[in-house]
Amino acid sequence: MLIYTIRRLLQTIPVIIGVTIIVFLLMHLIPGDAAQAIIGEGAPREQVEQIREKLGLNDPLPVQYWNYVSDLLRGDLGDSIRSNRPIADEIFKSRFWITVELAVYSTILAVFLGITAGIISAVKKSTPADIGVMIVALFGLSMPNFWLGLMLIQYFAVDFGWFRPSGWGDWSQTVLPVVTLGTGGAAIIARMTRSSMLEVISQDYIRTARAKGVRERIIIYRHALKNAMIPVITVIGLEFGGLLGGAVLTETVFAVNGLGRYVIDAIRARDFPVVQATVLVMSLMFVLVNLLVDISYRYFNKRIDFD
């Protein structure tokens, strides 16, 4: 177990290095003169030069990367061009935590709804309940979350007045974004749970349990569910990524001041260091969550041999 954990940790390092390389190179993907693009056409030459100097664009590429990484290791994500203030302060003051909250609540909702629906569907296979759940899941999977958000605002905030349409803080602001963001994940988890349950239920040991006369309820919840959850856990980890990405859209729709909205505002203001920093932080969150999922997965399923 310890060896697995260490090995898994070591495997993460090249991925993290790769992520920093891609995020670093983004600045060089800007067509033409990056400094000019950031400050906008028609800016005075001295200002462009100033930006170029500030971003270190005059140095050779390897030197730039080296400086970038050594700054990162000191917890320095660079300065915002717009506000001239350290980006790390802005991110970790509140934005990061808001996005974490949004993502965690949505994951909980997705897992709860998805697993429940998936079990119902599998246990009642080919009944109207199953077909109904699968049709709803197909919709959930196919709906753009920004549109779902707009519709929820329209009906539940504007028409019925049950919730507030924007912001983040108390429950009346939290429910709609969480539902918006959690729906897609719930659909995917429901489908995964269903197919995994069906596969487990058809196995010999379940048939044996049935033949022994074990009650159906116990078969489902004690024997089948435990094994059916194994692939579902991996999906939950991966879905967390989709969810973080989706947070960009959800936060924009609901005017939630998290990381997602920060990156969009930064793109609009051509504040490129902020774009880089936010993308980096969100990717590292995803890598970390998957690391934790993998390790806990291994911990709960000691009999699985990974290599």
Partner 1 sequence: MINMPAETGTLKDGTPESRTGPWRSLWQRMRTNRSVLIGGGFLLLLILVAVFGPLLTHYDPSKVDYSTKFLKPSAAHWFGTDHNGRDIFTRVIHGMRLTLSVGFISVMIGAAFGIVLGIISGYYGGKWDTIIMRITDVMLAFPGILLALAIVSALGKSLFNVIIAVSIFSVPTFARIVRGSTLAVRKLEYIDAMRTLGASDSRIIFRHILPNITSPIIVQATLRIAVAILTASGLSFLGLGAQPPTPEWGAMLNDGRSYITEHPHVALFPGLSIVIVVIAFNLLGDGLRDALDPKLKK
Query: Measured from the CB of residue 212, what is the shortest distance to partner 1 in angstroms?
Result: 25
Distance CA 261, CA 307 (A): 41
Closer residue to partner 1, CB minimum distance, 109 or 279: 279
Distance CA 289, CA 272 (A): 26
Number of H helices, E strands in the chain: 14, 0
Distance CA 34, CA 85 (A): 20
- In angstroms and rounded to an integer, the radius of gyration of the C-alpha atoms of the chain is 24
Query: Measured from the CB of residue 106, what is the shortest distance to partner 1 in angstroms?
Result: 13
Please, are residues 260 and 99 in contact by the beta-carbon 8 Å criterion?
yes
Closer residue to partner 1, CB minimum distance, 8 or 214: 8
The amino acid at 213: G
Query: Measured from the CB of residue 283, what is the shortest distance to partner 1 in angstroms?
Result: 5
Closer residue to partner 1, CB minimum distance, 66 or 139: 139
Closer residue to partner 1, CB minimum distance, 84 or 142: 142
Query: Measured from the CB of residue 222, what is the shortest distance to partner 1 in angstroms?
Result: 23
What is the binding site for partner 1 (CB under 8 A)? 14-16, 18-19, 21-23, 26-27, 29-31, 37, 138-139, 141-144, 146-147, 150-151, 153-154, 158, 195, 198, 240-246, 248-249, 252, 263-264, 267-268, 272, 275, 279, 282-283, 285-287
Closer residue to partner 1, CB minimum distance, 16 or 214: 16
Distance CA 34, CA 245 (A): 25
List, as one string, the DSSP characters of 171-205.
HHHHHHHHHHHHHHHHHHHHHHHHHHHHHHHTSHH
Query: Measured from the CB of residue 284, what is the shortest distance to partner 1 in angstroms?
Result: 8
Please, are residues 162 and 154 in contact by the beta-carbon 8 Å criterion?
no
Query: Measured from the CB of residue 306, what is the shortest distance to partner 1 in angstroms?
Result: 16
Closer residue to partner 1, CB minimum distance, 166 or 214: 166
Please, are residues 259 and 281 in contact by the beta-carbon 8 Å criterion?
yes
The amino acid at 197: M
